[in-house]
Amino acid sequence: MEKKDKDIPLRSGGLHVVLDIMTEVERVVTEELETHPRFPDLQNRLGLIRFQRQDFEGAKNCFEKALLVNPKYQAANSNLGFSLLELGRIDSAEAVFREALKTERKAHALNELAVLRLRQRMLLEAEGLLREAASIEPGNGLYPHNLAVALFLQGKIREAASSLKDTATLCAPYSQIFAEAILFDEDRLSAEAYREYLNRQEMNPCLSELHDHLGHALAANGFLKEAEVEYCVSLRTMPSLANYYGNLALLYSAQEKEQEALSYYLRAVDAEPDSVKARVALAFEYSASGLATEAMRQFEAAKALKPGYPDLRYNLGLVYLELERTEDAVQEFRAALNSNPNYLFARNSLALVLFENGKLDEALAEYERVFSEGLLSSDILVNIGIIYREKREFGKAVDSFNQAIRLNKEYARAYYQLGQTYQAMGQRKRARRAWKAYLERTHDEAEAADIRKALEEEQFEE
C-alpha cells in the first residue's frame, strides 16, 4: 500500500502554510456523519480514510456500518474485504470477495481474489483469476495491470512487460506514468524500477474514490495543480479514463472554462462509452450550451445503459419538451416516477405538460400530490387556480390565486389570473383592483397593454 505524505507545503509571502488535506477531508466527513449517521457513502469514505491511514480495524468498522445501512453497497463490501485482508483475516476476506462473485461486479471480484492470492503467493492462481477478469471486461486496464504483477512475481518478465503495455494501450495516460517511473529501458522492463513502482502502488482500486475526494478538496480550496496530481493518483489506483477525464472536466468547469470542460467530457465518453456518469455529464454540458439534440442523444445512450435512473429520465423528458416531443416527455416523466414516486420535480413537470395540453383533471391530480408532498410555488398555485376556474369552481380558484400572492406578493401572473377569475364571476370592482395590482408588477408589455386598454375604456366601472 502507498504510504504517501499528504501534507502539501505551500509558500506564500514568506509564510509557511501546511494544508493537511487528508485531515481536512476526515474532519468534514466526520462532521457530516454526526448529522447524518445513516449515510452509507459517508461511512465508506471515512473507512477509506482510515484504511489509507493504515487503521484497518477502524476502516473495517466503518465499512460494516455502511453495509448495515445498505447491504448491496458493493464498493463498501469490496473495501471490507481488503480491510480483512490487511488484518490477516484471510478466510473472512475470501468469503467477502467470493460473495461479490455473484454480483454484476464479477470481474472486480475476480481481481480482489487475485490480490488475495498474490498475498498468499499463489501466483499461478492469481494469474488465472486476472485472465478471467480481463476476458469479462477486456476494455478495463486494471486487469492487465495487475496481471503484470502476477507474471513478474513468477519471473515471467517479458510477459509482464507485455501486460503493462496492454494497460497503456487501454489507458493511454499510463504510458506517461510508466515513463515517469522509468519502467522500461527501450522495450525491456526494469525489475528494479518495477519493484519500486509496486512499492507505491495501491492494490485496492476503490481507494481511487478517496483520491478523487482529496482532489476535489484541493480544487475547492484553489490548489488546482495539486488537485490534478491527486486525480492522476486516482487514475493510477483505478485506471478509469472516464473518471479521470470527468475529474479534469470538473476542474475546468470550476474555473468557468466550459470549452475545456466539454472537451474532457467528450474524451470521457469516447474512452468509456458505457459510462453512464460520463454520458450524463456530457448531456448536461450540451444542454447548458443549448444543444438539445446532442443532449438528447447522450441522455438516450445513458438511458439504454441504466433505464432506472430517475434523474436521467427526468432530464431527458425536459429535453424532449424542448424538441416538442410532448408524448415522449410525458413517458420519461412517468418513467422517473415509476423508479422514484417521490421524485417531485418529475411530477411537477408532468403536471405542467398535462395542464398545457388541456388535460386538466389529470394535471390537477398531479399538482395536488406535488403540493401535498411539500413542493410549492406561486407558479404551481396559479396553475391550480386556472384549472379550478376552467372547472368553474371559482371559490377554489380565488383561494389558490390569493395563496400564490401570499407566497410571493410580487408575482404579477397571480394578480392577472385573479382579475380574469373575478371578471368571469362578474365581480368587476375586484377584477379592476387585481388588474391594477398586476400592472404595477408586470414586465410583460404586450399583455399589460391589453389590460390597460380595457381599464381605460372603463369596461369595469367602479
Q: Using CB under 8 A, list all residues that contact another protein.
A: 19, 24-25, 27-28, 32, 35-36, 38, 41, 213, 216-217, 219-222, 250, 253-254, 256, 258, 284-285, 287-288, 290, 292, 295, 314-315, 318-319, 321-322, 344-346, 348-349, 352, 356, 374-380, 408, 411
Query: Least CB distance from residue 378 to another protein, whole Å?
Result: 7
Query: Least CB distance from residue 59 to another protein, whole Å?
Result: 20
Q: How far apart are CA 184 and CA 177, in angstroms?
A: 11
Q: Give the nearer residue to another protein in terms of CB position, either 85 or 207.
A: 207
Query: Least CB distance from residue 68 to another protein, whole Å?
Result: 16
The whole-angstrom distance between residue 217's C-alpha and the CA centroid of its chain comes to: 16
Q: Give the nearer residue to another protein in terms of CB position, either 139 or 341.
A: 341
Q: Give the nearer residue to another protein in terms of CB position, either 167 or 243.
A: 243
Q: Are residues 74 and 59 in contact, defined by beta-carbon separation less than 8 angstroms?
A: no
Strands (E) across 164-261 are located at: 184-185, 188-189
Query: Least CB distance from residue 5 to another protein, whole Å?
Result: 19
Query: Least CB distance from residue 108 to another protein, whole Å?
Result: 22
Q: Give the nearer residue to another protein in terms of CB position, either 91 or 445.
A: 445
Q: Give the nearer residue to another protein in terms of CB position, either 15 or 458.
A: 15
**What residues have CB less than 8 Å from 106, skipping those under 6 apart?**
100, 133, 136
Q: Are residues 387 and 364 in contact, defined by beta-carbon separation less than 8 angstroms?
A: yes
Q: Give the nearer residue to another protein in terms of CB position, either 31 or 270.
A: 31
Phi, psi at 379, each rounded to 5°: -60, -45
Query: Least CB distance from residue 318 to another protein, whole Å?
Result: 4
Q: How far apart are CA 357 and CA 383, in angstroms?
A: 13
**What residues have CB less than 8 Å from 425, skipping those under 6 apart?**
394
Q: Are residues 239 and 142 in contact, defined by beta-carbon separation less than 8 angstroms?
A: yes
Query: Least CB distance from residue 206 to another protein, whole Å?
Result: 17
Q: Give the nearer residue to another protein in terms of CB position, either 167 or 253.
A: 253
Q: Are residues 100 and 112 in contact, defined by beta-carbon separation less than 8 angstroms?
A: yes
**Integer angstrom CA distances of residue 151 from 123, 159, 253:** 8, 7, 41
> Residues of 271-297 as b/e, b for ≥16 C-beta within 10 angstroms?
bbeebbbbbbbbbbbbbeeebbebbbb
Query: Least CB distance from residue 105 to another protein, whole Å?
Result: 20
DSSP for 254-296 reads HTT-HHHHHHHHHHHHHH-TT-HHHHHHHHHHHHHTT-HHHHH
DSSP for 415-451 reads HHHHHHHHHHHT-HHHHHHHHHHHHHH---HHHHHHH
Q: How far apart are CA 255 and CA 98, in angstroms?
A: 44
Stated length of the chain: 462
Q: Give the nearer residue to another protein in terms of CB position, either 191 or 220.
A: 220
Q: Give the nearer residue to another protein in terms of CB position, either 343 or 422.
A: 343
The whole-angstrom distance between residue 254's C-alpha and the CA centroid of its chain comes to: 16
Q: What is the dihedral of CA 294, 298, 299, 301, to 10 degrees?
A: 140
Q: Give the nearer residue to another protein in terms of CB position, either 284 or 394.
A: 284
Query: Least CB distance from residue 63 to another protein, whole Å?
Result: 19
Query: Least CB distance from residue 337 to another protein, whole Å?
Result: 12
Query: Least CB distance from residue 380 to another protein, whole Å?
Result: 8
Q: Give the nearer residue to another protein in terms of CB position, either 36 or 188.
A: 36
Q: How far apart are CA 77 and CA 7, in angstroms?
A: 29
The whole-angstrom distance between residue 49's C-alpha and the CA centroid of its chain comes to: 21
